[in-house]
Each structure stands twice: as C-alpha cells, then as structure tokens.
Amino acid sequence: MRAIKRIIPLLFFIPFIYSSCQQNDEYVSELPQGFPELEIPEDNPMTNAKIELGKKLFFDTALSRDSTISCGSCHFMQNAMTDPKRFSIGIDNQAGTRNAMSLANVAYGTSFFRDGGVPTLEIQVITPIESTEEMDIPIVDVAKRLNQNAEYRKLFKKVFNDEVTPFGITRAISAYERTIISGNSPFDKYHFQGDDTALNDSEKRGMELFFSDKLNCSSCHTGFNFSNNTFQNNGLYVVYEDIGRMRIEMDSVNYGKFKVPTLRNIEVTAPYMHNGSLNTLEEVIEHYAKGGMHGKYQSELITGFDITDSEKQDLINFLKSLTDKDFITNPNFAP
Amino acid sequence: MKALRYILPLFIFITFTFSECEDDPKPILPVENNLRLDFSASVGTNDFSVDTEFLNEDSHPTKFETFKFYISRVTLVKADLTEIEVKDVALVDFKSNFSKKVRMNVPSGNYVAIKFGIGLDSVLNASDPATFPQSHPLGISQGTYWSWASQYKFAMFDGRVDTVGNLGSATDVLVSIHPGTNPLYRKIGGLQHTFTTNTTSTEVVNIDVDMFEIFNGDAGKVDITVDNQSHVTPSDKHIATRIMDNFVNAFSIE
C-alpha cells in the first residue's frame, strides 16, 4: 500500500509534464451577441502568442520590398480597417485600382477580395505581399529577411517551433485578422442585446426602410454582417472598367459583379463601392433610388424606389447606427 | 524499496509508449526511383533549349528564357489495361537538366502506356502554396502561383521574338503566355510505350515535347508576334486555350 501512495502522485505528475510541453495558450474569443461561432481552420488554431505575432507582422513595413509599406498602411483602425483614400498608395507611390476593404469580421468571409478570387484568409496574405503595386516582395524573401532578426526568430520558434517560414507568416497574420471583430454598434445593442433605447426614432424608421420590400436592401445586405457573401452587379455602370467577378469566373453573367460588402461601420469607410467612386451615403442612396444604370447584367433586385428627403435622412441615420465606436478606437487594431 | 519495484517498470513503460510514436525506420529500397521520365523539347526537327535562339514556324528568331509546365496525376497503364496513379504532381522546368527529369517509385511490372494531365486538376490547383516545403513543385518559391487568383500557372512561356532582324535588342516583341485556371486543365489520352520496371534499376522513358505543335498544332496557330501576352483574362484567354489544346498533342516518346 505504501508503494501505491507513492505511485499515485507520480501518475498525476506525468500527464502534467506532457501537457506543459504543449502550448496552453488557446485564445478564447468573446463574440458579440448574435454572432455565429467562428470556424477556425485545423492547421491554424488561435493562440494568444500567435495573434500577437500576427499583429506585429501586420504593422511591420519589413513585409515590403523597400520596407515602406505594411498591411496597416492601407487598413486603418479609425476607418474600420479600410483606407479613406479612393485608391490606396502602395510601393513606389503606386495607386491601385480598387478601394481597400474593411477587415471587420473578415473571419466570417467565405471568399476574399472584391471578386472573391481567394478562397482562404491564409492564402490571401500572400497577395498584397507579392503584388507589384502593393508590397512587391516574394514571401520567401520576407521569411529570409525576418530570419535575420533575432526577435522574430524567437517568436516563430515559440509559436511554430520553427524558423520564419511563409507558412508561419500566413498563419500568424490570419489568426490576428480573425480577432478583428466588430459587433457592438447601437444597432447591435438594440437588435441583439435588447436595449430598446439604443436607437432613436429616426434610426428606427430608417431600419424599417432598410429592411422593407420597397427598398430591398436586405435582399443582399443581410444577416449579422449585412452581407449574403454573394457577388452582385448593383448597377453602378453599363460598361465596367473593372469587370469584377468575371475576371475569376469568365462567364459573362459575372460581368460587373462584386462581393456584397458589409455595411458595418459604413459611416467611417467612405469612399464607397469597389472603386471608391461614390463619396457619400447620400450619393449611394440616390444611386439605388434611381435603380442603377440599367446595364444588361445588372441584378434584377435593383429596381429603384421613391424616397422623400426625410426618409433618406432616416435611412442614413440608420446606416450610421452601424458604427461600432469601441471597434474603431480599439488599440488592438492599431500599431 | 518495494515502491521502486513498481515505479521502475512504470517508467520503462512510459518511455516505451512515447518512443513508439516515432516513425518506424523506412524499409531500404534497392533503388530510390525506379522510373524516370526525361523530358526534352524540340522545334520541329531541331532541339530546343531555354536561352537559346531558334526559328519559329514563321522563321522569326525566337528565344524563351522560361519554359516550364506542370504534369499531374501521372498514371501507368498495365498490359491488362488497368491503371495505376504513380505520381500526383511534378514541375517540368527546362532551366536545368535536373529539373527536366521526373522521378518516381512505381510497382514492378510491365506497362504499355503512360498518361498524365498537363497543368493541375482542380484539387491540386486549390492548394495553399505556403503549406509545402521549398522544393515541392507546388511550393511558393517555384514562381508559378498567381496570388491574385489563388491558382497556379499551368505552364509558363516567357521570352522574346524578333521581327526586324536583331534578336536581343529593344525591338524584340516580348512574349509572356501563362495558361492556367481549372477549365484549361488538359489530359493526354495515353502515350503508347511498352516497358518494364523492377526494384533494382531505374527505367528511363524519354518524352519529347514539340514547340511547333504547341504554337501551331491542330487547334490552330498562335502567332506570337501578335498574340504574345496571356494571363487568362477574358480578353486573352483564347490564346492560352489554344496553347493548351495544342499541348495535348505535342508529346511523343522517343
């Protein structure tokens, strides 16, 4: 019996040794009410150390050829991780051709970029790094460069038990991006958190309009993130300079189709549309009210409607109630 | 001391359990790769190499700095016409003798034909390039990934063609044709070739690919003095499509 007394504590001790070898650092996300559970890829579990490393990489200009541009050069906290410029400026002062997208709730994306050409957040990381207009450096060279840096070597060792690799860079940045969650706007407080006073009367009237059959906004901008994640031609042009989804799926039915964007924080993400061609929410509403430009491939859901000036103001007030002040001031999303 | 008697076996047991997780040593094969496909390229009756001038079918001096393509789902056909896939993917790159050879281990036996796809099937094409080791054909360092479209270039023809009589000058017309995207994946029906593999030696199959066929085959001609840029956008997709349709018929076993 005395033997057993000694063995039992030993048995307790052994599992302890082995579990302490693993990273016991799992990230516990506190999702806003009404938000579905996150799907985390099997090869990229979220840990606090990985997220921290991802943030460091996101704001590090070493990820560009001449060390001038970081991801944060085009995605700003106070603009809900978009760029207030119509076209962001990449390396060598080059302007792109599309308006930067909000990264709010990007964890729920089912495809990435305005044309949805990229299937995972992990793969997306490669695109801006290797784009000649944005950061212009092979990701393999970024890994080589960061391997010269003792701090990064230490962090990658800790998180991935490896040197700096493209695998680690893409995993860490996307783990960080999955923490960029916005869901605490007055609309959320009213709709998901049961605070009837969170919206004023004008905002409530605007909400009715937004979800009405007459305006039909919510046939595309629907669900907790105000997007059905489809590609639609919302009638901006008859002839598109940027053919959108058709670049990826070459059938002409995809002409001028772009991903339905979230409307969360829309107040601070101007200018609007894939090419930043509309500057204000008034212009956006006028565009929808007149029923688009009636091109051949325009969605049948864009039909136009009559709207009075005061209704327009109500609708704008509702859209502004989607601004999440905690989010656009959260230091986790700034360098 | 009696306690020790219990503890000791326990320790031995634990060590044993954990060491068991390590891979068993691999059985040693007599020969590492018992089948090799050695690719070569030709322009009609002449040999083709990268960085070397040749006359294209319109007798324009032409030079490619890059010529590489994926083959995938390499499959051997046995005498009884059953098939066996022996390699998922390889990148045939004419930049060096080494990278023109595709090595694999196949079961010993008698075979009558070889089949493969040109480019990548939709499963391989959806790969995340950051998940492969550096030297893997689908790895990010191969320079074959289109990050904007998250897909691979199935083949790359990069070079120059001369129309005024001095190749290598500023008047060269630059050529950059990169066929890709799932609809452009092509399978070759089967190269007839009878051969035997065993475990002690490497069987070598020499496969030639003819540039003339690629640029001027049954599917029609691609005049690279005019149609010289294709990255599979709607406006230039027809060029890449024709190249892939011709590619299917460009292989022969020597």
* CA distances in angstroms from A323 to A182, A197, A266, A268, listed in the order given: 9, 16, 7, 8
Q: Which residue is listed with tokens 């299937």? A: A119
Is the separation of the CB atoms in B160 and B175 below 8 Å? yes
- Considering only CB atoms, which chain B residues are within 8 Å of A126? 129-130, 140, 145, 147
Q: Tell me the β-bridge partners of A207.
A: none
Mean local confidence (pLDDT), A91-98 = 96
By C-alpha distance, the chain A residue nearest B237 is A250
Is the separation of the CB atoms in A156 and A164 below 8 Å? yes
- Considering only CB atoms, which chain B residues are within 8 Å of A123? 128-130, 147, 150
C-alpha–C-alpha distance, residues B52 and A54, integer Å: 46
- Considering only CB atoms, which chain A residues are within 8 Å of B2? 2-3
Alpha-helical runs (H) found in chain A: 2-21, 48-58, 121-124, 126-130, 139-147, 150-160, 166-177, 186-191, 201-210, 281-289, 309-320, 325-328
Mean local confidence (pLDDT), A84-113 = 97
* Domain spans of chain A, in order of start: 10-181, 186-329
pLDDT at A7 over 60: no
Best of A111, A127, A164 to substitute, by most chain B Cβ atoms within 10 angstroms, is A127
A-B CB pairs within 8 A amount to: 75
- Considering only CB atoms, which chain B residues are within 8 Å of A257? none
Residue among A119, A140, A170 minimizing CB distance to B150? A119
* Residue A328 three-state SS: helix
Q: Which residue is listed with tokens 């270039």? A: B153
Cβ–Cβ gap B234/A243 under 8 Å: yes
Nearest chain A CA: its distance from B111 CA (Å) = 39
Interface of B with A in 71-110 (CB under 8 A): none
The pLDDT value recorded for residue B32 is 87
Cβ–Cβ gap B131/A167 under 8 Å: yes
Instruction: Write out residues in chain B with pLDDT < 70, as ranges.
Output: 1-30
Is the separation of the CB atoms in A166 and A143 below 8 Å? yes
- Per-residue pLDDT of A237-293, as tens digits, reads 999 999 999 998 889 999 999 999 999 999 999 999 999 999 999 999 999 999 999
The pLDDT value recorded for residue A3 is 52
pTM: 0.88
pLDDT band at A5 (very low <50, low <70, confident <90, very high): low
The pair phi, psi for residue A300, each rounded to 5°, is -70, -10
C-alpha–C-alpha distance, residues A276 and A208, integer Å: 27
Q: What is the mean pLDDT of chain A?
A: 93
C-alpha–C-alpha distance, residues B51 and B209, integer Å: 17
Cβ–Cβ gap A3/B145 under 8 Å: no
Q: How far apart are the first and last CA of chain A?
A: 60
Cβ–Cβ gap B129/A166 under 8 Å: yes
By C-alpha distance, the chain B residue nearest A164 is B130
Q: Please check whether residue B191 touches A, CB under 8 A.
A: no
Is the separation of the CB atoms in B119 and B188 below 8 Å? no
Q: Please check whether residue B141 touches A, CB under 8 A.
A: yes
State percent of chain B over pLDDT 70: 88
This model of the complex carries an ipTM of 0.80
Residue among A4, A169, A248 minimizing CB distance to B149? A248
- Per-residue pLDDT of B102-138, as tens digits, reads 999 999 999 999 999 999 999 999 999 999 998 999 9
**Which superfamily, per CATH, for A186-329?**
Cytochrome c-like domain (1.10.760.10)
The reply to whether domains A10-181 and A186-329 share a CATH topology is yes
Best of B128, B141, B153 to substitute, by most chain A Cβ atoms within 10 angstroms, is B128
- Considering only CB atoms, which chain B residues are within 8 Å of A1? none
Angle, vertex CA A104, rays to CA A100 and CA A108, nearest 5 = 110
- Topology annotation, domain A10-181: Cytochrome Bc1 Complex; Chain D, domain 2 (1.10.760)
- Per-residue pLDDT of A23-64, as tens digits, reads 568 998 889 999 999 999 999 999 999 999 999 999 999 999
- Per-residue pLDDT of A65-74, as tens digits, reads 999 999 999 9
